[in-house]
Amino acid sequence: MILGAAAGSPVICSLIEAGGRAMTKAATIPPLSAELTQEIAIDAYIFAFPIVVMEITRRVLTNVPPASGANSLRIQAPMNRFTHMPRFPDDNFNAVVRPNADTLYSALWFDVSAEPLVISVPDSGGRYYLLPMMDMWTHVFAAPGSRTTGTHAQTIAITGPDWDGDLPEGVRAYRSPTPLGWMIGRTQTNGTDDYPAVRNFQAGIEAVPLSKWGDGSYQLAEGAFDPALDMRAPSDQVMSMDAPQFFGIFAGLLRTNPPHADDHAMIDRLAHIGLVPGEDFDLASLDPELRAAFEAAPALAQRKLGIAISRTGTLVNGWRMIGHPMGTYGIDYMRRAVIGYFGLGAVPVEDAIYPSALAQADGKLFDSAAKYVMHFERDELPPARAFWSLTMYNEKQLFAANPIDRFAIGDRDKLRFNEDGSLDLYIQRDMPDAEWKSNWLPAPASGAFSMNLRLYWPTSAVLEGDWAPPTVKRLD
């Protein structure tokens, strides 16, 4: 086995599958052209992008400042310890773009390399919730919750990819394809008056290592804060990495996070340029031609990524609809990278779908100085089994201050319907006539804006493309 084999080397490392784990053996191949070498280096960047973003996100979100309090909106906690968002973001919140005002988050970065992690979930009393689990490749390998397992009390366990043991009776196992991963729980929250009930449910969601489960002796995991750690947005960090840093991190992650079984063709391909699971990677030791291909890869791959982002989804009535694949990507590595860049943590569309209106149907930006209406016919209301909402964002993709502190509106609000059963939502910065205040989604005081429609547990009409949001029309 030769690491860092130069383009044109007669020996590479070829992948074979044995028991679901990657192994290598020597194989003879024809030389690679400079063009093909560059192409593979770009493919390597796209393939690696999500797991590198996940790792940087993990570092940031498990680096907990000492001053973090129970009322903090930062979803940070040490490994294997839940953190629960206690309230919705407001117009001062800027930690992430396009936040929601529908659910409160419960997040957990898990490490099950040593033993399974047992998670207790109380009865939600019929309240919608979702506990999607992602491996480090951003694959959602399980999503217990209302749609899949129901709302009764349940106990589950996340196990590592190689764990072989017995769980207590009644504990359902979910095998993570990688030892590390992220659970991003979401619990339906019906306005600020609902906070106490949601917090009570969140308090009952607990994570305990299997060896400590049930004996009452477990102390919550303690973390360590590194003040020198780069705490910038993870996607910004990754996009600014040079080739040695990016591919060095990727090679390290390959040691402990096995690729999926259907990645075998890509792993074979990466071996041509010296990227082999379980092996060190030193870009400086490669021959000049191969090193140049790696060094050029970030900029070239990011250009392709930008084009793919602009083409993601289908535009219908001014709404960008992003459907399958989501949360599980197979070998669609570009789609996986696109979602890893602008939608890390995305769940399968069966659980939620978020059509976005970034501009009017004619392509012009929404203007805060204008007035708009979104009209739903009686049989055109968003078909969601759980609930739906429409959320407003300013030019920075954040919530905007408004007179009634309303950042979203939806079916859990006391909406006023027209006599024929249709519904009008008024989108403008100034309050409409008092009788329509209940249907008002305030726009920012100035500038352009955009919106997201969120459908939780959408019906087949949405998933199969038989329903789309109506056009947002300008009134003046």
What single-letter DSSP state applies at residue 102?
A: S
Decide: 472 and 451 in contact? Cβ < 8 Å: yes
Going by C-alpha positions, the residue among 56, 145, 72 that lies closest to residue 109 is 56
Q: Which CATH class is domain 64-212?
A: mainly beta
Neighbours of 314 (CB within 10 A): 13
Architecture of domain 11-57+232-310 in CATH? Answer: Orthogonal Bundle (1.10)
Q: Grade residue 28 by pLDDT with cuts at 50, 70 and 90.
A: very low
Burial class (CB in 10 A: 0-12, 13-18, 19+), 153: exposed
| pLDDT digit string, tens, across residues 296-335 | 999 999 999 999 999 999 999 999 999 888 999 999 999 9
Whole-angstrom Cα distance, residue 258 to residue 24? 13
**Positive or negative, the Cα torsion across 347, 349, 352, 358?**
positive
Residue 223's pLDDT is: 82
In CATH, what number does 314-474 get? 2.60.120.600
Please tell me the least confidently modeled range out of 32-36, 91-95, 166-170, 292-296: 91-95
Which among 372, 458, 371 has a CA at the least distance from the CA of 411?
A: 458
Q: Domain ranges in the chain?
A: 11-57+232-310, 64-212, 314-474
User: pLDDT category, 229, cuts 50, 70, 90?
Assistant: very high
- pLDDT tens across 178-210, in order? 999 999 999 999 999 999 999 999 999 999 999
Please tell me the pTM assigned to this model: 0.89
**Which of 257, 260, 230 has the alpha carbon at shortest distance from 245?**
230
Strand segments (E) across 100-179: 103-111, 117-121, 129-130, 133-135, 140-142, 154-159, 171-175
Range name among 105-109, 276-280, 451-455 with the lowest pLDDT average: 276-280
Residue 246 near residue 238, CB atoms below 8 Å: yes
pLDDT bin (cut points 50, 70, 90) of residue 84 is very high
161's tokens:
């990819």
Centroid of chain to Cα 476: 38
Instruction: Examine the pLDDT at 7 and tell me if it is beyond 60.
Output: no
